[in-house]
Amino acid sequence: MFESLMDRLEKSFKLLKGEGKITEINVSETLKDVRRALLDADVSYKIAKEFCDDVKQKAIGQDVLTAVKPEQMMVKIVHDELAELMGSDSSDINVKGNPGIVLVAGLQGSGKTTFVGKLANNLKSKRSMQAMTVAGDVYRPAAIEQLKVLSDSIGVQMYTEEGVKDPVKIAKDAIAFARQNGISCVIIDTAGRLAVDEEMMNEIAAIKKAVNPTETLFVVDSMTGQDAVETAKAFNDRLDFDGVVLTKMDGDTRGGAALSIKAVVGKPIKFVSSGEKLDALDIFYPKRIADRILGMGDVVSLVEKAQEQYDEEEARKLHKKLAKNQFNLEDFYSQIQQVKKMGNIKDLAGMIPGMDKALRNTEIDNTAFKSVEAIINSMTPYEKENPEVINGSRRKRIADGSGTSVAEVNRLLKQFEQTSRAMHNMATSKMMTNIKK
């Protein structure tokens, strides 16, 4: 996401390197390049021009502290303007009510039904809410089946009425059912079309009028760029929705839709979705996205993802084992599983400042752990507990059993030894600090 824009902006700021101060001439040159970068990212000319005009107005005459270089000051101004362009702060959804009602709209193929499943999973796992999905797409049988599979996989109920072709009736009946059964939030999936048409707009407007949702969300495929923005505007003119969900963000390296929608439609982006996994749904934080666009990483999101997988009791046990130098390959394997649960490895690494640039053209995914897992799984419980007993013949057997080479087994054992030693030193150092206190 935003890789192309990140590259272009980095080159733009280099135009200010070596300059003693920000002037109208050097700012104009830099912003000309910034504008081209935004246009290449599929941002409309009008928005790109207005953005650069705002940056120029704030940059010229700016007092540059002696400790701050002109290009650093420009990065700060561009960062703040990017965050402002995307909405400044995150915007929560309203799921309060008896029940809370979320109406989901969008074109066919935008990832609407998958999002309904992801949102139900999010409400259940992160807000402890009892959510229910509603199959309101009466034209596409595959949509009902897809939603049923998604709902079953996360353990939430799906409401449908076999043979009923009136989505307004289904939505109203689903809400009545939710009230009777103490369900706290209803998420209504609706029919999509290949393009905006009057019939679809009339139908979604009728559903909204009938159920009076607490939240109406428009789901759009971010890979369609400016088309996504125009489609969002058409829907908002008719529906007056509350927020936008951008899907397929992992497939879009430009990011024009994310940068433009708030400015054009006037409604916030509330969620971004990437991949098919049901936990791959994130709240949209404009300031954090601006951080990532400018290569500053996103440490806050990284820590939040780690905390979601954090088990305090397990961490305490691990710390004791490390202090006693009892960390073994079983523990090593367990830590790998925790990291994998946090998401795509390259995305996680990109949240560390400076790593996005380092990994720009590198392919890293969770399959990078496969050989390590295979090697550890080919060991006996005794070998995992006591890695020091793994001699030459055992290494050959482990390599054969895991489909790897002895060299790969040797490399893993060396990495484990180095990791174990470093973690032991950290654990004992922390213990000594606490004792001194």
Q: Can you tell me the mean pLDDT for 249-268? A: 79
Q: Can you tell me the mean pLDDT for 138-146? A: 87
Where exactly does CATH 1.10.260.30 map onto the chain? 304-436
pLDDT tens-digit profile of 347-365? 655 554 544 554 455 555 5
Residue whose tokens read 């409400």: 123
**Of 161-165, 189-193, 398-402, highest mean pLDDT:** 398-402
Q: Which pLDDT score, from 0 to 100, does residue 130 have?
A: 93
- H/E run at residue 411: helix 406-436
Q: Which pLDDT score, from 0 to 100, does residue 301 have?
A: 52
Structure confidence at residue 369 as a pLDDT band (50, 70, 90): confident
Q: Which pLDDT score, from 0 to 100, does residue 211 have?
A: 94
Q: Virtual CA dihedral for 237, 239, 242, 243, nearest 10 degrees?
A: -70
The whole model's pTM is what?
0.68
Q: Can you tell me the mean pLDDT for 42-63? A: 83
Hey, what are 16's tokens?
């200010």
2 burial via Cβ count (<10 Å: 0-12, 13-18, 19+): buried
Stronger pLDDT, 77 or 99, i.e. the higher one: 99
Find out whether the peptide bond into 213 is cis, omega within 30 degrees of 0: no
Distance (Å) of CA 128 to CA 158, 189, 215, 431 = 17, 21, 18, 36
Q: Which pLDDT score, from 0 to 100, does residue 114 have?
A: 93
Where exactly does CATH 3.40.50.300 map onto the chain? 100-294
Q: Which pLDDT score, from 0 to 100, does residue 1 have?
A: 56
Where exactly does CATH 1.20.120.140 map onto the chain? 3-85
Which residues are CB-neighbours of 286 under 8 A, at least 6 positions away? 82, 83, 84, 85, 86, 87, 88, 89, 90, 269
| pLDDT at 375 exceeding the cut of 80 | yes
Lowest model confidence (mean pLDDT) among 135-139, 264-268, 337-341: 337-341
In the sheet with 269-273, reading across from the earlier edge strand, the strands are 157-159, 131-136, 185-190, 100-106, 215-221, 243-247, 269-273, 281-283
Stronger pLDDT, 326 or 395, i.e. the higher one: 395
| pLDDT at 143 exceeding the cut of 70 | yes
| pLDDT at 388 exceeding the cut of 80 | yes
| pLDDT at 51 exceeding the cut of 50 | yes
- Greatest CA separation for the chain: 73
Stronger pLDDT, 257 or 148, i.e. the higher one: 148
| CATH number, domain 3-85 | 1.20.120.140
CATH topology of domain 100-294: Rossmann fold (3.40.50)
Closest CA to 114 of 240, 246, 211: 246
| pLDDT at 104 exceeding the cut of 90 | yes
Closest CA to 43 of 77, 11, 14, 85: 85
Query: In the CATH hierarchy, which top-level class contains the domain 304-436?
Result: mainly alpha
Q: Can you tell me the mean pLDDT for 31-36? A: 88
